[in-house]
Amino acid sequence: MGNVHTLEEGKVHGHGHGRGQGQGRGQGKGYEKEKLYRFFGIRMANEGDGYSITGQRRAEIQMKQEENLETAGPGGTRSAAAVAVGGLAVPATALPERLGNPGTVAELHRRCHDMLPQTFDGFRLNVSRALGSNVTVGHSLQVGNRPQTADCQFNASYMGQRQHELTGEAYPMIIGEVDAHGNVTGTLMHFITPRCRGKLTTTILDSEVQSSRLFLDYFGNNYSCTCVLSNIDLAQRMGVFVASYLQQVTPELALGVDYIYQREDIVPGGQAALVSAVARYQQENRQWSAMLSLHALELCYTQFYGQSLGASVQLQANILKRQAISRLCYHCHMPRVGFSFRGGIDTRGVISAVCEKRLEPLPILLQLSGKLNHLTSRFRFGLGLTLG
């Protein structure tokens, strides 16, 4: 879920906490113009919504779903325990005609985006410690090739005891993060009802609220609805509103629509609206997903080869900027030996890879990151350690 990126950087948009928005302050008209391009691009307000589950937690959920599917009776009839559709486990007794909840539009390309290598440069150190079964605290230190890229942060999180049967998320969830400059990022997620999820994220930079987003998701038996309010300013009548709907039409096909309305000074006429059509087709180990609007297009195809290897192809096109890019990525995951490798190459000559290896019996995860741009001959290397 991202936009078409520049050739020099080739960065893949991740699910961050909003620091990227804070770094864009004060860049003048160039930054405002880029914001306008992003609005007419792909998923401006929904991208980076932070709903993605951590890799370890996602592996646990997938393992549990596979165990539920193994309880199917003779002839392929699934038991009443659970049915996994669109990445969610839904009680079979609540499914009319074996249709399950398709998840949110923000998770439309999740399988493909999970295979993209999240590269970094310099040295990165993450230390986490669990204080009981619900509270976790940690420190993170990152040093790049320039002194101004050094960053030190402290974070703390609280995960509730309850686990939602649809998404597998523990709730309520509270996450806070503060850096050496006193900038704070906070996230609060809770299921208001068994089918309604609310989430609030806020970033405070230089004692001012830089960005805020409010998410409301409703999960039906075979559909989901999402509303997003981003950076709403009632006094100046500015902000972004997003509404999306995804319907599971057949056990394999899901169709939906994504609507974005933005009111801001940088928009011609002061306001603009964008409607996108979304679709996803899933067959066991294969998945096709698409998002199409008058200004942008994103197509993804993902296939798994056994339990340890997967590959994906992604095409992104921004008609307003007249740019297009394709990526080929693959992911090799061997949990028994604690090894994971993600690699990718795009049509602009950028090759990237991230290798992770758990150093047993020590509680240390070693990360090696590399990115090479053949056209500019620019190479970046990163070394990371995760303790805990």
In a domain, 70, yes or no: yes
Q: In the prediction, which pLDDT does 34 show?
A: 56
Please, which pLDDT band fits residue 243 given cuts at 50, 70 and 90?
very high
pLDDT in the model for residue 81: 38
DSSP-derived pairing of the beta strands 122-131 and 378-387: parallel
Position 72 scores a pLDDT of: 41
Residue at 374 is within a domain:
no
Distance, CA of 49 to CA of 103 (rounded, Å):
14
Write down the pLDDT at residue 40. 53
Q: pLDDT by residue (tens digit) across 149-190?
A: 788 999 999 999 999 888 888 999 999 999 988 899 999 999
Q: Evaluate whether residue 113 is within a structural domain.
A: yes
> Taking all residues of the chain, what is their mean pLDDT, rounded to a whole number?
80
pLDDT at 32: 56
Percent with pLDDT over 70 in the chain:
74
Report, as an integer, the average pLDDT of 345-371: 95
d(CA 385, CA 356): 10
pLDDT at 95 over 50: no
pLDDT in tens, 340-350: 999 999 999 99
pLDDT tens digits, one per residue of 20-35: 444 444 444 444 555 5
Q: Which residues pair with 73 in a beta bridge?
A: none
Domain contains 249: yes
Residue ranges of E strands in 106-248 = 122-131, 135-143, 151-163, 170-179, 184-193, 196-205, 208-219, 223-233, 238-248
According to the model, what pLDDT value does residue 277 have? 97
**Mean predicted confidence (pLDDT) in 340-367:** 95
Q: Select from 338, 290, 333 the least CA-distant residue to 313.
A: 290
Query: How many domains does the chain divide into?
Result: 1
**Residue 86: closest CA among 192, 224, 218, 196:** 224
Q: Is residue 378 part of a domain?
A: no
Tell me which of 235 and 369 has the higher pLDDT. 369
Q: Is 181 among the domain residues?
A: yes
83 forms beta bridges with 90
Within a domain: residue 3? no
pLDDT of residue 24: 42
Name the residue among 192, 190, 200, 187 with its Cα closest to residue 169.
190
Q: Which domain holds residue 75?
A: 19-285
In tens, the pLDDT along 2-20 reads 443 333 333 333 334 344 4
Rounded mean pLDDT of 245-262?
A: 96
Output the domain CATH number for residue 55.
2.40.160
The rounded distance, in Å, linking the Cα atoms of 204 and 140 is 19
The predicted structure's pLDDT at residue 39: 54
Please indicate, yes or no, if residue 275 is contained in any of the structural domains: yes
Bridge partner residues of 201 (DSSP): 187, 213
Residue 194: CB atoms within 10 A of its CB come to 10
Residue 73: pLDDT over 90: no
The answer to whether 46 touches 258, Cβ cutoff 8 Å, is yes
Distance, CA of 77 to CA of 252 (rounded, Å) = 17
